[in-house]
């Protein structure tokens, strides 16, 4: 008993230390990101200033050359000019030479600042990348210590397999969270930030360039907002297609595969046999949808196919699905141990008490066959 309490105390202390470390790494990442964005803005300003100073230097250098020529002319024909002419020529030449020296010094300083900022941005990129990697790794450790492994313990009997499968689930969850966070940051978040900036310019455009130009800006804003909304809906759809709850499995698969075909160069053919209006239990519909989604995504990412065929047959007593592609195929016997897509498909079909068959060979494409029995309790 005392040993168990002591072990629990050690784990709690480790959890606290790991949690604090994760927060510190996150703070470093956020500070680096803020500095990165600030330096990017400064770099843009410095580049504009460099271009402006170079332009001024070129004009001043030309004027200085003319002034020196004028001074040389006056000096050669000194007696033909008044003292005032000589004085003016000298002062103009001297003033332009001083201005040119100042501009050249300013250009040098701006170039040095630009180079410094660019080097710092490269360093910050490395820092942010390392921080993100560390946060993911620390999160895996934290979740493992916190007991995520126990949640899949009943699924795997062998202790070694349980550990490996548990870590893979955690890593996949972290990878998915990171992907969604990046999609939101790079997509809707950036679009909304741009909308905010553009909206602040509308009033200025109206006052400086007139109402017609301001209306053009507003039209652009509307287009950006529509794009942002479409991106948000796509992200939500990827997380869970709401049409699955409203329309059922077959219409949702049809919609998903059409959308996939529109956004890739891959031809997708979908065939439905049987009754499309049969509704299954929510867990069964979600499980079958995810298996098809995983199979089609695996083909798209790894097999480089020209065409993918998906056929579903829905009967009162069973559901059969075939996903076939004409891609480069693979040897199932040599499938990588870390092929989480195949592992996830097998785990889903096992949870549904169904059968999964994968037939493939190098250069011969891949056929995935799914069969699940359906009883009255699983129908709606």
**What six digits make up the tokens of 190?**
């950036």
Cross-strand bridge partners of residue 270 = 310
> Do 217 and 201 touch, CB atoms closer than 8 A?
yes
Domain 2-146 adopts which CATH fold? Answer: Helix Hairpins (1.10.287)
> Do 268 and 327 touch, CB atoms closer than 8 A?
no
**Helix H or strand E encompassing 320:** strand 318-325
Instruction: Give CA–CA dist 103/191, Å, rounded.
Output: 39
Share of the chain above pLDDT 90, in %: 14
Instruction: Give CA–CA dist 167/138, Å, rounded.
Output: 12
Contacts of residue 132, Cβ cutoff 8 Å, sequence gap at least 6? 29, 178
Query: What is the model's pLDDT at position 147?
Result: 60
Domain extent listing, the chain: 2-146, 247-378
Listed ranges 1-15, 17-31, 182-196, 239-253; the one with the highest mean pLDDT: 17-31
Q: How many Å is the Cα radius of gyration of the chain?
A: 33
Instruction: Give CA–CA dist 148/15, Å, rounded.
Output: 13
Q: Classify residue 377 by its DSSP letter.
A: G
- Farthest CA pair distance, the chain: 118
Q: Assign 313 to helix, strand or coil.
A: strand
Query: What is the model's pLDDT at position 149?
Result: 40
Task: Give me the architecture of the 247-378 domain, per CATH.
Answer: 2-Layer Sandwich (3.30)
pLDDT digits (tens, 9 = 90+) for 63-94: 888 888 888 887 777 777 777 877 888 888 88
Q: Check whether 361 has a pLDDT greater than 80.
A: yes
Q: Assign 271 to helix, strand or coil.
A: strand
Q: Classify residue 378 by its DSSP letter.
A: G
């Amino acid at each position: 008993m005392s040993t168990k309490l002591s072990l629990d105390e050690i784990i709690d202390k480790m959890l606290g230390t790991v949690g604090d470390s994760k927060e510190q790494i996150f703070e470093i990442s956020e500070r680096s990101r803020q500095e990165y964005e600030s330096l990017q803005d400064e770099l843009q300003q410095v580049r504009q200033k460099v271009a402006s100073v170079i332009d001024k230097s070129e004009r001043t250098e030309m004027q200085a050359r003319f002034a020196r020529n004028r001074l040389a002319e006056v000096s050669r024909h000194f007696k033909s000019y008044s003292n005032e002419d000589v004085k003016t020529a000298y002062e103009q030449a001297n003033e332009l030479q001083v201005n040119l020296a100042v501009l050249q010094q300013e250009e040098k300083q701006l170039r040095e600042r630009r180079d410094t900022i660019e080097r710092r941005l490269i360093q910050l990129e490395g820092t942010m990348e390392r921080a993100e990697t560390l946060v993911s790794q620390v999160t895996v450790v934290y979740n493992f210590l916190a007991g995520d492994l126990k949640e899949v313990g009943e699924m795997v009997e062998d202790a070694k397999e349980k550990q490996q499968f548990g870590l893979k689930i955690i890593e996949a969850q972290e990878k998915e969270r990171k992907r969604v966070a990046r999609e939101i940051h790079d997509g809707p978040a950036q679009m909304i930030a741009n909308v905010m900036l553009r909206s602040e310019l509308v009033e200025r455009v109206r006052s400086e360039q007139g109402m017609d130009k301001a209306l053009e800006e507003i039209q652009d804003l509307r287009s950006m907002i529509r794009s942002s909304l479409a991106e948000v809906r796509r992200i939500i759809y990827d997380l869970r297609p709401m049409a699955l709850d409203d329309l059922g499995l077959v219409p949702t698969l049809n919609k998903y595969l059409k959308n996939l075909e529109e956004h890739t160069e891959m031809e997708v053919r979908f065939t439905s046999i049987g009754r499309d209006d049969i509704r299954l239990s929510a867990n069964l519909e979600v499980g079958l949808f995810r298996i098809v989604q995983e199979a089609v995504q695996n083909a798209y990412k790894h097999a480089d196919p020209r065409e993918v065929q998906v056929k579903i047959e829905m009967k009162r007593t069973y559901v059969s699905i075939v996903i076939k592609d004409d891609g480069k195929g693979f040897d199932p016997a040599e499938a990588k141990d870390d092929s989480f897509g195949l592992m996830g498909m097998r785990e889903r079909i096992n949870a549904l008490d169904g059968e999964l068959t994968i037939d493939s060979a190098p250069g011969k494409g891949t056929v995935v066959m799914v069969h699940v029995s359906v009883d009255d309790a699983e129908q709606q």
